[in-house]
Structure formats: structure tokens, C-alpha cells
Amino acid sequence: MKQFKLQLHRLSVVQIAIILLILGLFFGGLFANTFKNSYDKQMLNYQNSVFSDITTNAINYAGLFRYILAKNFGEFIVFWLLCITILGIPYMAYKIISFGFFTGFFISAVSIQYGMKGILLILAYVFPHGLLYLPIMIMSFYKGFELCRSIYHDKRNHISGLSTLIKPKLALVFMLAVALVIGSFLEAYVGSFILKKTLGLFI
């Protein structure tokens, strides 16, 4: 046990994040394959009803943009607020594992249901906004981990030195927030249009 803890301590934050992500992907894919019969009918219902509704009805782009922006910023604000608490690092670990799990589940479930054709649906679901969301997520986790570690492990005095530690991160947080607005715009206007056209191939 001591040897395992020592090896874990030697791993960098990036290596630990990759391990957690791989674990999440593995268990998400395993869950999708193991419990296929429990959601198979639901996916068929989605294909027959939800897919049809999306492809036939007009998209309220402005309303969708407001919804996506509010959702993304809600998570973004919660993340950075938790980074200045002792819950920051456990919360990051949870978010990485859950992201990997749901990603693994989604990819496996869609691939099982639609085969090679499902790859097109997967790409349409994440393009083009995913190309911006991914670096935002990586940078947020990396810098958020640095902030939380410096507050609770390096300085061990987060009350008096909190403002000193936060100020250098404000410019980065602002740039990430701007990028998140752009990503939300792409998801609402471009991504939803691409997804709508792609879903038409499945009905």
C-alpha cells in the first residue's frame, strides 16, 4: 500500500487526469455494453419521436443560445468558486471521471445502435463547439488545480493570501469566459444546424 501511494504521489496532475479519464471511458463503455437491453427501446423511441421533432421543427437559435450559455456559465462559475475551497481537487476528479463515463457511454451506445453510421452522429454532436470546449476544459482543470493546490497545500494560509493567489488567474479566467461565450454561440447556431441535418439521416 505504501509503495502504491508513493507511485501515485510521483504522478503529475496531467497523468492522474488521463488515468481518471481512461477509467471513466472504460466504465462508461462497459456500462453501455452490459446494460444494452435496458436502454435499447428508449433509443428507438428517441429515434422515432425526438429525432423527428428536431428535424421537422424550426430551431429557436436565440433561445437555445441563452439556454446553453446559462448552463455553461453556471458550471464555469461553480468550478472556479470550488477551486478556492478544499473541495476543489475532489470536484475536479469527479468531473473528469463523470465526463469520461458519459462520453464512453454515449460513444458505445450510439456505436452499438447505429454501427459505423453512428460515428457521423457522434461527430455532429460535438462539432464544431467541441473543438473549443476541449481546450477550455483542459486549461480550466490545469489552472484550477494549480490554484487549489497553492491555497491548501503550498501556502496553507488561504485566508490572508487568497487575493494574492487569485489575481494572477483573473485574466486567464476572463479569456476562458470569452471563449466559452464563443463556444456556446457555435453550439447554438452552427452545431445545432449540423446536428439537425445529421439526424435527418436516421429517420
* 3-state secondary structure string across 127-161: CCCHHHHHHHHHHHHHHHHHHHHHHHHHHCCCCCC
Lowest-confidence region among 54-68, 81-95, 100-114, 159-173: 159-173
- Higher-pLDDT residue of 36 and 132 is 132
Cα R_g (the chain), whole angstroms: 20
pLDDT number for residue 202: 74
- Higher-pLDDT residue of 86 and 163 is 86
pLDDT number for residue 14: 73
Chain centre distance of CA 147 = 20
The domain limits of the chain are 14-37+48-202
